[in-house]
Amino acid sequence: MDIQLDHQFLIHTLQQLIRINSVNPSLDPHAPGEAKIGSFLAQTIKNMNLKPKIHHLEPGRVNVTTVIKGTGGGRSLMINGHMDTVGIYNMKEPFSGTISEGKIFGRGSIDMKAGIAAALTLVKALVEHKIKLKGDLIIAFVADEEYASIGTEHLVKVYQTDAAIVTEPTGLDICLAHKGFGLFEFSTTGKAAHGSLPEKGIDANMHMGMIMTELNRLSHKLQSTSPHPLLGRPSLHIPVIKGGTEPFTYAENCKMKMEIRTLPRDTLEKTLSELNAIIKKLSARIDNFNAAVKPIMWRDPYEIDKTNKIVTKLFDSVKGVTGHTPSYIGHPWWEDSSLLGKAGMDTVIIGPKGGGLHAKKEWVDIRSVIDLTGILYKTTLNYCNLLP
């Protein structure tokens, strides 16, 4: 890489992005969403003589994209970053963007406005140095990753590229996989009766307890499966349970939510059939056992092979820019990469170093943001100029 990336623009833009509140309104009803940060990003893109597109999803919720058309004969690439952040809880100065000891502070600094600023700086370099790519480059800033991903869900209906890079934080390592998750609701139905009349009452809570015992067994089984090399083992827990109405009365209804964190081999169909098998087994064994289970939410896990071209190009770029050999890692939480991957794009995750994600003091390491920009620049050049 012989051209100079504009580090001053990078750091200044990141500070400006942190200073715009873009807390997700699905997490905090008083929060503004992405409209304001979206217009700032659209204007920044316009200032580079490129055409931004604002996609209106819901009131106050937008995606912002720009397409840098290739000359043809190359591979297309998307760089994807979410504009929304989680809430600000008891943060002292959530929107300061203060710089101290090589770090920038503020909500969204690492998760993931640094990734957005890096993508903008890469585009600025392409435009200013009139660098032509063979394949198209799509820059996509999306809404709502921290809640229901309406942004990337809409995005994949509009754009399709050969590969995608999501710039979520990874400490400049290469994230190849993440877990999925599912939320299920179990319900048991009994019969209300006076607490002194066992021949009349059917205890829905007790029946839920039977299900819990089986889920505990399943949980132990999951813990003894062979671990995924990057993600470990699947897990489940019971975050919410509500049953019965008052003391001295048999509980007529009980509802329980169960969350499961899954591995790339897991599917909704497989998981649901395992849960239904528990109910079937208990129904055969217990009189008047009346239970059901339904999925409330399901997000697929994600994995990409390290021999994939986008991964090898990224790996070479990290080594070239930082001099270090990156590790391959997995994330235990879910990310938008799952939606991009499902839409057919080879997706990989790389982002800067820092800390305090979703916590009181969030920060990003400036050196790593500068390196990330160089890495994205090099990867874009090398990938978009590959033959399809």
Give the residues lining the site for Zn ion (CB under 5 A). 111-112, 168
CB of 272 to Zn ion, least distance (A): 28
- 168 vs 173, beta carbon nearer Zn ion: 168
Kindly report the three-state secondary structure assignment for every residue of 20-41: CCCECCCCCCCCCCCHHHHHHH
- Beta carbon nearer to Zn ion, 34 or 168: 168
* Nearest-approach distance from CB 325 to Zn ion, in angstroms: 25
How far, in Å, CA of 230 to CA of 139, rounded? Answer: 28
Cβ at position 70, least distance to Zn ion in Å: 28
Q: Which is nearer to Zn ion, 162 or 168 (CB)?
A: 168
**Tokens encoding 185:** 């609701």
Tokens of 160: 């399709």
Amino acid at residue number 349 = I
Residue nearest to Zn ion (CB): 111
* Sign of the dihedral through C-alpha 208, 214, 298, 335: positive
**3-state secondary structure (DSSP) of residue 276:** helix
Separation between Cα atoms, residue 203 and residue 193, nearest integer Å? 9
Query: What distance in Å separates the CA atoms of residue 372 and residue 352, rounded to the nearest whole number?
Result: 6
Kindly tell me which of 168 and 346 has the beta carbon lying closer to Zn ion: 168
CB atoms within 10 A of CB 213: 12
Q: How far is the CB of 143 from Zn ion (least distance, A)?
A: 12
CB of 351 to Zn ion, least distance (A): 8
Tokens coding 26: 């699905």
User: Cβ 216 to Zn ion, closest distance in Å?
Assistant: 32
Which CB, 66 or 170, lies closer to Zn ion?
170
From the CB of 166, what's the least distance to Zn ion, in Å?
A: 9
The residue (of 180 and 201) whose beta carbon lies closer to Zn ion is 180
Nearer to Zn ion, 109 or 205 (CB): 109
Distance in Å, CB of 386 to Zn ion, minimum: 28
For Zn ion, the closer CB: 86 or 375: 86
Residue 121 belongs to what H/E stretch? Answer: helix 114-128
Q: Indicate the residue type of 15.
A: Q
Quick one: CA torsion of 340, 341, 342, 345, rounded to 10 degrees?
Answer: 80
Least distance in angstroms from the C-beta of 91 to Zn ion: 17
Q: Which residues pair with 236 in a beta bridge?
A: 260
Residue with smaller CB distance to Zn ion, 148 or 277: 148
From residue 340, alpha-carbon distances to 11, 78, 149, 158 in Å are 28, 10, 11, 12
Q: How far is CA 15 from the centre of its chain?
A: 23
Closer CB to Zn ion, 45 or 110, in the complex: 110
Q: Determine phi and psi for 36, rounding to 5 degrees.
A: -70, -45
Scan for tokens 């050049």, then name that residue. 381
Closest distance to Zn ion from the beta carbon of 187 (Å): 33
